[in-house]
Amino acid sequence: MDKDYIFAAELFEAYIPTFTNKFSVVSSKKTLLNKILKLKINDDQKNFSIYIKTPLSKEKHATLFTEFSNIEKFNNFLNSSEKKFKCVEVIKYIKGPPEALILKESQGESFFQIIKDSSHRLSFGDFSRSLNAAKISGECIKFIESHTCGKESIHWVKDEICGQVEEVAKKILILNKFPFMRESVKECLEIIKNSNFAENESYLSHGDFHPENLFIDVDSVTLIDFGISRPQFIGYDAIYFEHYLNNFDRIRYKPKNLKMIYEAFWAGYERKLSPALLKANKAQIFLNDLVYLSTKNGILPFQKIMYFFDVLKAKAWLVR
């Protein structure tokens, strides 16, 4: 019998007996931190899908409890949106062993899939769905900011971010093969350290707000993946979303459509960010980009060339 099936069966027998012998394993995949099983539950009354997330190693065990806690935090204020903005539904958090977070599959369609269906050069989908999804996504960030801004001291938030940024910078200086990027790293550190913000210019960010983590259903949006949610400078999620769109391949996707999605998103978000907030948020995202690009840098010549151009593209976005 498949070991994923056996694992799920033993988990259900110990913690959710009603699911025992009523499921099938659909898929299995690994992310940087977790293994994720997708299961189909064949209940007598209705069928639905769930996800079981388990940590890949003992060192990473805290991430699931962090995600579970963050979902509870977001639910506390998203519930007041009258179901317009929602969190992924938690079926159960299991402290373990084995530790596991069991989530119900979100209603609606992935925003990423909507963009693919309507903006890929080979597609002829209904583009208005992409614009509606973009606008409601911007409204979602605006709602999150309005309900959490100023809850944490801006000085505490800045100290936390500076500490994280310095750790990121150390990794880049070790990994990066291009000496000219060292100046960019120092420049980003200075931007964040020297930024001054008002007391209410912090909020609880989702931290990974992009189309693959948003599920759109008519006039509502469901958020998933809260593993890195944390206090941030106002505008972080909005800038991160913009950055994600900016990285869409212009050869495969229609630039005009992507531009309209970008504009619809900012129309929903509405907030005009100060130059200081723009620079500080972009600097953080740029540094995270460098870590990712440095770690995926291969040894083959063409990989190094592609890496070089990826870095230049990220740098151009930073100063734009």
Compute the C-alpha angle 190/195/198, nearest 5°: 165
Compute the C-alpha angle 314/303/292, nearest 5°: 45
Mean pLDDT of 73-85: 94
Please give the structure tokens belonging to residue 77: 């204020």
Q: Are residues 85 and 229 in the same domain?
A: no
pLDDT higher than 60, residue 221: yes
Q: Are residues 25 and 48 in the same domain?
A: yes
Q: Are residues 171 and 278 in the same domain?
A: yes
Mean pLDDT of 278-289: 89
Domain boundary among 74, 104, 134: 104
What is the per-residue pLDDT across 96-111, written as a single tens digit (0 to 9) for each?
788 999 999 998 999 9
Strands 230-233 and 214-217, how do they pair?
unpaired
Most confident of the following: 24-38, 246-260, 262-276: 262-276
167 exposed, middle or buried (CB, 10 Å; 0-12, 13-18, 19+)? Answer: exposed
Domain boundary among 48, 80, 104: 104
**Alpha carbons 242 and 305: distance in angstroms, whole number:** 25
Position 260 confidence tier, pLDDT thresholds 50, 70, 90: very high
Q: Are residues 87 and 169 in the same domain?
A: no
Q: Are residues 80 and 157 in the same domain?
A: no
| Mean residue pLDDT across the chain | 87
Per the structure, the complete domain to which residue 72 belongs is given by: 3-104
Q: Are residues 61 and 94 in the same domain?
A: yes
Q: What are phi and psi of 155, to 5 degrees?
A: -70, -40
Q: Domain with 274 in it: what CATH number?
A: 3.90.1200.10
pLDDT higher than 60, residue 297: no
Whether the CB-CB separation of 137 and 221 falls below 8 Å is answered with yes
pLDDT higher than 50, residue 275: yes
**Cis? peptide before 98, omega within 30° of 0:** yes
Check residue 125 and give its pLDDT.
Answer: 79
Q: What sign does the CA torsion over 138, 140, 141, 147 have?
A: positive
Position 169 confidence tier, pLDDT thresholds 50, 70, 90: confident
Residue type, 137: S
Running DSSP on this structure, what letter comes out for residue 22? Answer: S
**Alpha carbons 85 and 49: distance in angstroms, whole number:** 21
More confident residue, 310 or 241: 241
Mean pLDDT of 287-291: 78
Position 61 confidence tier, pLDDT thresholds 50, 70, 90: very low
**Alpha carbons 227 and 56: distance in angstroms, whole number:** 14
Q: Are residues 91 and 154 in the same domain?
A: no
Whether the CB-CB separation of 39 and 48 falls below 8 Å is answered with no
Mean pLDDT of 40-63: 80
pLDDT higher than 80, residue 313: no
Strands 34-42 and 47-55, how do they pair?
antiparallel
> Among 55-69, 181-195, 272-286, which is the least confidently predicted range?
55-69
Check residue 20 and give its pLDDT.
Answer: 83
Q: Are residues 269 and 206 in the same domain?
A: yes
Please give the structure tokens belonging to residue 301: 């010549």
Q: Are residues 96 and 139 in the same domain?
A: no
Residue type, 53: K
Check residue 38 and give its pLDDT.
Answer: 96
Check residue 288 and give its pLDDT.
Answer: 81
Q: Are residues 15 and 128 in the same domain?
A: no
Q: Could you write out the DSSP letters of every residue in 121-162?
A: TT----HHHHHHHHHHHHHHHHHHHHHHTTSS-HHHHHHHHH
**Alpha carbons 219 and 121: distance in angstroms, whole number:** 26
241 exposed, middle or buried (CB, 10 Å; 0-12, 13-18, 19+)? Answer: buried
Check residue 286 and give its pLDDT.
Answer: 86
**Alpha carbons 210 and 310: distance in angstroms, whole number:** 19
pLDDT higher than 50, residue 168: yes
What is the per-residue pLDDT across 188-214, written as a single tens digit (0 to 9) for each?
889 998 999 998 999 999 999 999 999
**Residue 52: strand, helix, or coil:** strand
> Among 41-45, 93-97, 245-249, which is the least confidently predicted range?
41-45
Whether the CB-CB separation of 34 and 64 falls below 8 Å is answered with yes
Total domains, the chain: 2
pLDDT higher than 80, residue 308: no
Domain boundary among 47, 75, 104: 104
pTM for the structure as a whole: 0.89
